[in-house]
Amino acid sequence: MVTGLQTVVAREAAPSEQVAVTVGSFRAGERANVVPDRAELGVTVRAAGEAALTRAAAAVERIVRAECAAFGDAGRTRHGAQGVRPAYWMLGVIGPAAWSAAPGATAAQKLAVLPANHAPDFAPDVRTARPAGVRALRTAALNCLGSPR
């Protein structure tokens, strides 16, 4: 199933679309010598566009249901694939000391060696990230809800 889910982006999204399907967790069984009677997958589907999100979520649902049916468990899937319309902002979250210490002469060179978001060693500098994030969220909310006059 995991291998099938890894093909969704290549098969369901155009190269220009921003789509991600991530199997972020996989839990099954308690012991190495016992075949478990159940497994849980944590799957995230993200896309920048509504059409791409719909296609990717449908593909995940189709693959999961087909794999369950192939092994006689068609009725046991607990949750369908859920797509989420994301808002994703790239905020500067590296503190001044970490930025200065990172090797490289250009921003691209420094970013290539600094931990990226979702990396296990990613640790934003809260003193600089929080105020920027709050300002961005406030601006977005006011833009969506209408600025008070």
| pLDDT per position as a tens digit, 92-149 | 688 888 899 999 999 889 988 998 877 888 888 888 888 888 998 888 888 878 766 5
Q: At residue 58, does pLDDT exceed 80?
A: yes
Mean pLDDT, residues 29-42: 88
Confidence of residue 91 (pLDDT cuts 50, 70, 90): confident
Task: Note the pLDDT of residue 43.
Answer: 92
Mean pLDDT in residue range 13-39: 89
Give percent helix, percent strand, percent coil of the chain, each to the nearest 5.
Answer: 45, 15, 40
CATH T-level topology, domain 2-84: Alpha-Beta Plaits (3.30.70)
> What residues does each domain of the chain span?
2-84, 96-145
> Exposure of 43 by Cβ count < 10 A (0-12 exposed, 13-18 middle, 19+ buried)?
buried
Percent of the chain with pLDDT strictly greater than 90: 30
pLDDT in tens, 67-90: 888 877 654 555 555 555 566 676
> Residue 116 has what DSSP assignment?
P
Q: What is the mean pLDDT of residues 27-42?
A: 88
